[in-house]
Amino acid sequence: MAHSYSQEDGLPDLEAVKKLASYMDDIIKKWRIPMASKCLCCTQEETIAHVFFSNPIADRIWMHFATMIDIAHHNLINVQEALITWSLSASEKGHIRQVVPVVILWALWEARNKAKHHNVKYNFHRILSRINNLLSLKLNIDAAKNNISGYGGILRDSNGKLICVIGCLGTNLNALEAELDAVLVILKWTVQLGYQNLMVEVDSLTLVNMIRNKTAYWKNYNKMTHIS
């Protein structure tokens, strides 16, 4: 036979239990004992807002990329606000500013889980490196010289997916100058579109060494310094 319990059975009143629990929560917090899981980088409670935004490392990550992309940094409080703030700052659909916050959120969550479950150290430089790898784009550039010169570039994401193809004509005295102009022109174009953290690949070892060592004939030196 079903039995209906009440206070007469000696059970405490539900509302009284809730009030007591709330009171005990306040006492425990005053003693600075974390109620939820402890943050992996400080002594605060591990709330969603803290994991993604307000913990010192997360805040530093957001500030780093906001400064890099020239977005006013302010204290974000939730995922929706972050996505809207960055998306509204983009000049067009598909802009890199719409991608960056998603990658940051993913990298912070991934780092938190690796630290919590696999004892991988949670630190700024590890997370920053992970984000840079996720955001990296590969730009293949080549040039050809006959009576006139032609430049071409192919931009792909970290998974090899085609993003865009770039091509234009130029006038150069030799093949090396054509290669140098190709890198300068196509790099400027991709950066203007909002793409950064580019890994550039060319087939001229002479040009690569010239850029790395900052050695060039005087007439090409100014172009080379703009690239490096």
Average pLDDT over residues 16-27: 61
In a domain, residue 27? The reply is no
One domain for residues 115 and 161: no
Distance CA(10)–CA(1), nearest Å, equals: 20
Residue 16 lies in a domain: no
Helix axis angle, 218-227 to 175-192, nearest 10°: 30
Amino acid identity, residue 215?
T
CATH of the domain at 166: 3.30.420.10
Answer yes or no: do 150 and 223 share one domain.
Answer: yes
Does 87 map to a domain?
Answer: yes
3-class DSSP assignment, residue 153: strand
Helices 218-227 and 205-213, packing angle to 10 deg: 80
Query: What is the number of domains present in the chain?
Result: 2
Pair 141, 187 in one domain: yes
Are residues 131 and 141 both part of a single domain?
A: no
Whether 7 shows a pLDDT value over 50: the answer reads no
Is there a domain that residue 98 lies in? yes
Q: Which helix (H) or strand (E) holds 41?
A: none
3-state secondary structure of 144: strand
If asked whether residues 151 and 131 sit together in one domain, one would say no
Percentage of the residues of the chain whose pLDDT score is greater than 70: 71
Q: How confident is the model at residue 1 (pLDDT cuts 50, 70, 90)?
A: very low
- In this structure, is residue 2 part of a structural domain? no
The predicted structure's pLDDT at residue 16? 63
86, 71 Cβ separation under 8 angstroms: yes
pTM over 0.85: no
pLDDT at 167 over 80: yes
The pLDDT of 81-102, averaged and rounded, is: 77
Q: Could you give the CA distance from residue 172 to residue 177 in angstroms, rounded to a whole number?
A: 6
Q: How much of the chain, in percent, has pLDDT values that exceed 90?
A: 15
Return the sign of the alpha-carbon dihedral for residues 177, 183, 184, 189.
positive
Identity at 84, one-letter amino acid code: I
The answer to whether residue 171 sits within a structural domain is yes
Q: How confident is the model at residue 15 (pLDDT cuts 50, 70, 90)?
A: low
Q: Please indicate, yes or no, whether residues 158 and 206 belong to a single structural domain of this protein.
A: yes
Specify whether the CB–CB gap between 82 and 53 falls below 8 A. yes
- Number of neighbours of residue 2 by Cβ within 10 angstroms: 3
Whether residue 9 is contained in a domain is answered as no
Q: What is the mean pLDDT of the chain?
A: 77
Q: Whole-angstrom Cα distance, residue 206 to residue 210?
A: 6
- Domain boundary among the residues 101, 135, 169 is at 135
Residues 46 and 131 in one domain: yes
- Looking at 117, 135, 153, the residue that finishes a domain is 135
> Among 100, 118, 135, which residue terminates a domain?
135
Q: Are residues 82 and 173 in the same domain?
A: no
pLDDT at residue 224, as a whole number: 61
Together in a domain, 43 and 121: yes
Which residue range is the domain that position 104 belongs to? 36-135
| Measured distance CA(116)–CA(198) in Å, rounded | 32
How far apart CA 197 and CA 39 sit, in angstroms, is: 30
Q: Are 147 and 180 within one domain?
A: yes
What pLDDT does residue 3 have? 42
Cβ atoms 181, 167 nearer than 8 A: no
Is the residue at 1 inside a domain?
no
Q: How many whole angstroms from its chain centre is CA 9? A: 59
Q: Which of 14-23, 74-83, 92-101 has the lowest mean pLDDT?
A: 14-23
Q: Are residues 125 and 175 in the same domain?
A: no
Question: Are residue 129 and residue 161 in the same domain, yes or no?
Answer: no
